């Protein structure tokens, strides 16, 4: 396969843009860049390495994400990248972009409130309904449609919704 002409910096930019556009398979309105799963793109001598971190160590979507990153980068750069998964430092909702949080809310999933820490494990979350904005909500289950979400219900509009847990 022929390498894309240009410097390593240009190749890195193209690879980053391609990888950053890969959608999360569980929440397709978010890219892996929105989630903070895309950690780095390294280029040396025309070789590309994309570094990703799962939202949690057992995330079943990571294999699909890695395959989609390979395809996207190969299409953009004519180079099959090495995709490396790193577990340390562990992913945190602090890595989500403000745009990603807004995309979650618009999609009907309450974004994580605040930053990760002890409150995430032991605190009493106050979660606004992503549909009507009411703060009168209650957790139904600690586990939602995926392991990184909890199931909540709005007492005002009576709609259930997922809340992306603050980790």
| Domain membership of residue 56 as a residue range | 8-85
d(CA 133, CA 23): 26
- The verdict on 23 and 64 lying in the same domain is yes
Ramachandran angles phi, psi of 79, nearest 5°: -135, 130
- The verdict on 50 and 119 lying in the same domain is no
d(CA 97, CA 39): 13
- The verdict on 13 and 70 lying in the same domain is yes
- CA proximity to 58, closest of 97, 85, 19: 85
d(CA 161, CA 109): 6
Point out which residues pair with 141 in neighbouring strands.
Answer: 151
- Identify whether the C-beta of residue 76 lies closer than 8 Å to the C-beta of residue 68: no
User: For residue 1, is it within any domain?
Assistant: no
- The verdict on 73 and 101 lying in the same domain is no
- The verdict on 30 and 79 lying in the same domain is yes
pLDDT tens digits, residue range 117-145?
Answer: 544 555 567 899 999 999 999 999 988 88
For residue 110, the model assigns a pLDDT of 93
- The verdict on 14 and 81 lying in the same domain is yes
User: For residue 35, is it within any domain?
Assistant: yes
Name the token pair of 52.
């990703």
d(CA 83, CA 147): 23
Could you tell me the pTM of the whole model? 0.81
pLDDT tens digits, residue range 139-163?
Answer: 999 888 887 889 999 999 999 999 9
User: For residue 3, is it within any domain?
Assistant: no
- Identify whether the C-beta of residue 86 lies closer than 8 Å to the C-beta of residue 53: yes
- The verdict on 133 and 107 lying in the same domain is yes
Spans in the chain with pLDDT lower than 70: 1-6, 114-124, 167
- The verdict on 27 and 77 lying in the same domain is yes
Task: Give the SS3 label for residue 72.
Answer: helix
- The verdict on 98 and 124 lying in the same domain is yes
Boundary-marking domain end, from 85, 115, 133: 85
For residue 70, the model assigns a pLDDT of 98
């Amino acid at each position: 396969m022929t390498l894309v002409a240009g410097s390593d910096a240009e190749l890195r930019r193209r690879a980053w843009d391609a990888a950053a556009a890969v959608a999360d398979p569980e929440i397709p309105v978010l890219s892996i860049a929105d989630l903070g799963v895309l950690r780095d793109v390294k280029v040396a001598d025309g070789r590309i390495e994309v570094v990703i971190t799962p939202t949690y160590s057992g995330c079943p979507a990571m294999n699909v994400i890695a395959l989609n990153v390979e395809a996207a980068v190969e299409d953009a750069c004519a180079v099959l990248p090495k995709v490396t998964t790193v577990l340390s430092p562990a992913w945190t909702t602090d890595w989500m972009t403000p745009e990603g949080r807004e995309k979650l809310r618009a999609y009907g999933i309450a974004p994580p409130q605040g930053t990760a820490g002890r409150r995430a494990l032991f605190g009493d979350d106050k979660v606004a309904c992503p549909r009507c904005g009411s703060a009168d909500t209650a957790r139904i289950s600690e586990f939602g449609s995926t392991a990184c979400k909890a199931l909540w219900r709005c007492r005002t509009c009576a709609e259930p919704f997922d809340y992306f847990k603050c980790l």
